């Protein structure tokens, strides 16, 4: 895939200067700070959005902000499982992962998907390095005990799906200091060196916490968190999230996303944003302007 820069000749020089001047307070405010970005959805599969995402990540690094990318790969895993004649199964938004599925998960996430993202960022002028949770003994995990939402006495066996025991971020920090952009696949390791598939939203949230990130940004395929009427909720408190989960407004894949966001916000990450990854440069607009492209989670 070749990417040609977009034609911006219609933007007047005065407007360009104004745009840059408006970004300056944000660049100053976030200089030297870490931003963890969960990359997923359309932004990962649409070529124009892929290029815009890579440009945004490189620009953030060049102005002195430290982006760390955590990626998913659900559609790609699903595609390969289908080609192998294996039907994916989900319980409460989590993929059931037997040994064969785990092999596919590792092959897709740590191979194809990760290297695509590394390539995109490098082509945009950055220096990206791919990591899994095994690298630098980063993500120590154990088997996830999934309690049934309706009946707390019941547990579901979801196979080699992991729960994070701890994250050692030293390898990420070392890369950041050398001006690299870490790209993390959400795979952890257990006591017996077994591999675990971990929800990418959960990894992003925990990594943001241990890195004491300024922001956690989660790119999605929706405008943000929506109410029962389908209207965007620009800000959410913990109590509102609890209410929305209780009445079923929030369900499926949004559950681990928001559980991770709450965790991060409670643990000192200054802001968590769930943003619309279908909008080109939404991430840059969210960070370097007062435009909002999604839902911000507040800790109180």
Cα 18 → chain centroid: 31
- 197 appears as a binding residue in the annotation: yes
CA distances to 113, 145, 218, 261, 269 from 266, rounded to whole Å, are: 31, 22, 17, 9, 7
Q: Which of 34, 35, 73, 93 is nearest to 257 (CA)?
A: 93
- 14 appears as a binding residue in the annotation: no
Helices (runs of H) and strands (runs of E) counted in the chain: 10, 16
- Name residue 155's beta-bridge partners: 147
Contact 186, 198 (CB under 8 A): yes
- 221 appears as a binding residue in the annotation: no
> Two tokens at 161?
């799906």
Contact 107, 84 (CB under 8 A): no
Q: How far apart are CA 231 and CA 48, in angstroms?
A: 27
- 111 appears as a binding residue in the annotation: no
> Two tokens at 82?
């289908």
Contact 45, 70 (CB under 8 A): no
> Two tokens at 110?
């740590």
Strand pairing class (90-91; 294-297): unpaired
Binding residues for substrate: 73-74, 95, 197
Binding residues: 73-74, 95, 197
């Amino acid at each position: 895939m070749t990417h040609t820069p977009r034609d911006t000749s219609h933007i007047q020089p005065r407007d360009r200067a104004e745009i840059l001047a408006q970004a300056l307070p944000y660049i100053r405010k976030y200089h030297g700070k870490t931003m963890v970005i969960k990359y997923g959805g359309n932004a990962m599969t649409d070529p124009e959005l892929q290029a815009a995402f890579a440009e945004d990540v490189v620009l953030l690094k060049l102005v002195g902000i430290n982006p760390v990318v955590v990626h998913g790969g659900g559609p790609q895993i699903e595609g390969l499982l289908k080609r192998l004649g294996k039907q994916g199964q989900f319980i409460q938004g989590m993929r059931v992962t037997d040994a064969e599925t785990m092999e596919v998960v590792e092959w897709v996430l740590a191979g194809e998907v990760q290297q695509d993202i590394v390539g995109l960022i490098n082509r945009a002028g950055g220096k990206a390095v791919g990591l899994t949770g095994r690298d630098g003994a980063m993500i120590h995990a154990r088997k996830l005990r999934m309690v049934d939402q309706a009946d707390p006495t019941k547990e579901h066996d979801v196979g080699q799906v992991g729960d994070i025991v701890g994250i050692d971020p030293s390898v990420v920090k070392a890369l950041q200091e050398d001006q690299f952009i870490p790209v993390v696949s959400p795979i952890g390791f257990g006591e017996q060196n077994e591999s675990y598939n971990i929800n990418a939203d959960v990894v992003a949230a925990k990594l943001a916490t241990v890195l004491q990130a300024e922001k956690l940004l989660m790119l999605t395929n929706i405008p943000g968190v929506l109410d029962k009427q389908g209207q965007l909720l620009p800000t959410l408190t913990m109590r509102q999230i609890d209410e929305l989960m209780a009445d079923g407004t929030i369900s499926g894949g949004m559950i681990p996303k928001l559980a991770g966001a709450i965790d991060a916000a409670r643990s000192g990450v200054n802001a968590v944003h769930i943003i619309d990854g279908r909008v080109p440069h939404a991430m840059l607009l969210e960070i370097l302007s007062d435009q909002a492209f999604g839902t911000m989670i507040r800790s109180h």
